[in-house]
Structure formats: structure tokens, C-alpha cells
Amino acid sequence: AEQDVVVDSKAAEEVLLKQAADMENSISTPTIALIAHDNMKKMMRQFVLVHLEMLRDFQLTGTGTTCSMLREVGLEPIGSTASGPLGGDQQIGAMIVAGEVDAVFFFRDPFSAHAHIADIEALSRLVDCYQVYYGGNYRSASAVLSFMHGNLKKRQATGRRCSIMKPEGMSDLAEAVQSDYKSTRAAALEKSKS
């Protein structure tokens, strides 16, 4: 037999508010997407091997073959996308837009033409629009990873977010980059009505 359950709405509200505060204060593990063109996969493998212990402290994802390489060296990516030319770069881009990726390490082959150059450029544009960390070669990826790892350790020790120094009045760098564009959207909608 079913029984009616009486819920104390005030108590339920307090529980929900506590859960929301706990979620806000929790230290989420940043996600890094790794991508490497075929001629750069050897360098990406060396990067991963040299930085293996730091990378273990992050959630990792990436395009298909790169994630297979991560698994081969003992890392466990949280998922993988298709190969870059089959839409993987676009899938990583969608993850950036959704706020699911905090950094992209993309070792591009500077000496080969790529059939999916439009996808590569779109991904690079999203990295800039959403102000995620970016490492385009071994040295820059190493520097970004070291910086992110140091910040992660500080966050774990103090419970407070650590990031880069932001200009005064710019608490959200992505919003600062996107604000002018977003302000034109209402005008474009109005213009479409005439």
C-alpha cells in the first residue's frame, strides 16, 4: 500500500541549499584535451611520458588516436572523440563551449596541409573566445601544464580557486572577449523583424 509522505519544505530547502553550496565549493578536477596530428603523435607521446605524473592529476580527453595513445601509457581519459578529420576537433570545440574543457594541448603539424583546416581554425577560435589555456607545441604545453598543476595543488591545499591575474573589472575573461559581440545580437534580431 502506498503511504503519503509529508515533506518539510523548509528542511528540504535547507538541504538543497547546502548541496548547492557544497557543489560550489567543491574542487573540480580540470579537464585537458590532447590532440596531435599524425606527424606530431611521437612528440605528444614524449610529452605525455615526461609529464605523466602531473597529467594523472587531471581529467584527460582528446581525439581518437591520441586517447588510444594515452591508454597505452597508462592514463585513463574520461572519453574520446572521433579522429580530428572525422569531427573530433569539432567535438572538442563543443566541449569548450559547454565549459567541459579547461585547456587544449594541440600539437599541430606545421609542415603538412590538412583537409580539415576549417575545423582546426574553428577550434583555435573557440580557445580564444572562451579563454581556455592553450599549448600549441611541446614547450608551451609544458609551461601551461606546470602552471595549471601548481594552481591545482594550491586549490587542493587551500580550498580556494587559483588562476591567473586578471585585469581589474574583468572577473570573467571569456565574457570580456564575448560581451561586444553578444550586445549586437539584440540589434540583429530587431533588424530581422523589419
What are the strands of the beta sheet with 133-135, ordered from one edge? 59-62, 31-36, 103-107, 133-135
Judged on CB neighbours under 10 Å (0-12, 13-18, 19+), 164 is: exposed
Grid coordinates standing for 129?
A: 573566445
- Cell 605525455 belongs to 48
| Closest alpha carbon to 108 in 100, 96, 116 | 116
* 57 is annotated as an active-site residue: no
| Closest alpha carbon to 82 in 63, 100, 54, 68 | 63
Of 4, 38, 89, 109, which is the active-site residue? 89
Distance CA 57, CA 91 (A): 23
Tell me the residue type at 29: T
Distance CA 174, CA 6 (A): 45
Catalytic residue IDs: 89
